Structure 1
């Protein structure tokens, strides 16, 4: 017997917590703005980082190519994102927020911050800072583990 207890296995617990938060946020974004989580992530990343290729978006969002492609197509169809040629690589395109995309981002960002405040209101400022630092360390450990 391995001794593994799923409810005590931290990767499992982290995944469950992440899914619960993502589901709560997804419902709000879908109801308020008609966006799925991948679409919202692309809008937020483009707002923060400017125009970028789908490959760069995959790296920044940690989403696979198919998910990024579907989200991008949906955003382009809604007129929230423009697809322009990439002057440094003619095989790819750069995605960028349109004026409507920026307007949507300006509506969503305050709501996202309010959801974050509500979700983590049971934590002190020190606990939130510690959690952010621990998540950063986890991401670093995963990167090191993946490199091996």
Structure 2
């Protein structure tokens, strides 16, 4: 089963290779322009996917993670009113999930600012557009599986794109309960304008690495991505958290009950 078939079936293969398919878009009736995003090799996409998995593991809100700004090494340590000996602390200079979250959050923030300024869409809308350019006529649930975001975020983005005439929704002839989504001509045009900016941002991001280092990084990211199910399956077997309820709240609850 190919990577695109995995997404169309509502699943994503952890070891899926290159989610890549050229999209030929008529530009003037005679010429064709080639638009494609290689999700299997786009470092920003891999970082985003791993960062989302890290944030879910730590129960972090993606917006909150933006506040984690990685400064020059060595990092300035926050002052604490109390010091305890023998504690295990995160080394943010080497803690890999922190790198994923921090790098992805800062890249996402910069991308959103750029795309909003010049194209009127944010990073989530761009991810939806990129997926639909690769795989037209898929459902909202399949988009969620592809971009790794929750249904609410994808739904809001789809509403925005539909209002702007960038995405069209049609009933699925095989399932009356489902609707297929695809880019309109205007959506295809916007995709081809944004992708040049997106790939230039990635080029700048990786400009400090040699070709061999980039290949090694992509391979390492793919391997790490395949470990996400194993990581998220870990259960520390601790007592479940029980929120404390004060006496006044208990009395009020008894009155309502």
TM-score by length of 2: 0.55
- Distance in 2 of aligned mates of 1:5 and 1:21: 23
Q: How does 1:100-119 map to 2 (within 5 A)?
A: 100-119=186-205
Q: 1:98: which partner in 2?
A: 184
Rounded to whole Å, the distance in 2 between the matches of 1:82 and 1:42 is 13
2:142 to 56, 66, 91: 56
Q: Partner residue of 1:128? A: 214
Q: Which runs of 4+ in 1 moved over 4 A?
A: none
Q: Secondary structure at the match of 2:177?
A: coil
Provide the aligned length of Structure 1 versus Structure 2.
Answer: 148
Say if 1:147 and 1:91 are closer, same or farther in 2 by CA, change over 3 A: farther
Q: 1:20 to 1:2 in 2, by over 3 A?
A: same
Q: Which residue of 1 aligns with 2:164?
A: 78
For structure 2, the residue ranges without an aligned partner over 5 or more in a row are 1-85, 235-257
Q: Does 1:4 align with 2:89?
A: yes
> Greater helix share, 1 or 2?
1
Task: Work out which of the two has the higher radius of gyration on C-alpha atoms and give 1 or 2.
Answer: 2
RMSD of the alignment, in Å?
1.4
Please list every run of 5 or more consecutive structure 1 residues that lacks an aligned counterpart in the other structure.
none
CA distances 1:75-117 after superposition (whole Å, capped 9, x unpaired) = 0000000011012221121110000000111111112111111
Give the 3 Å change call, closer, same or farther, for CA 56–126 of structure 1 in structure 2.
Answer: same
Range 93-102 or range 24-33, more displaced: 24-33
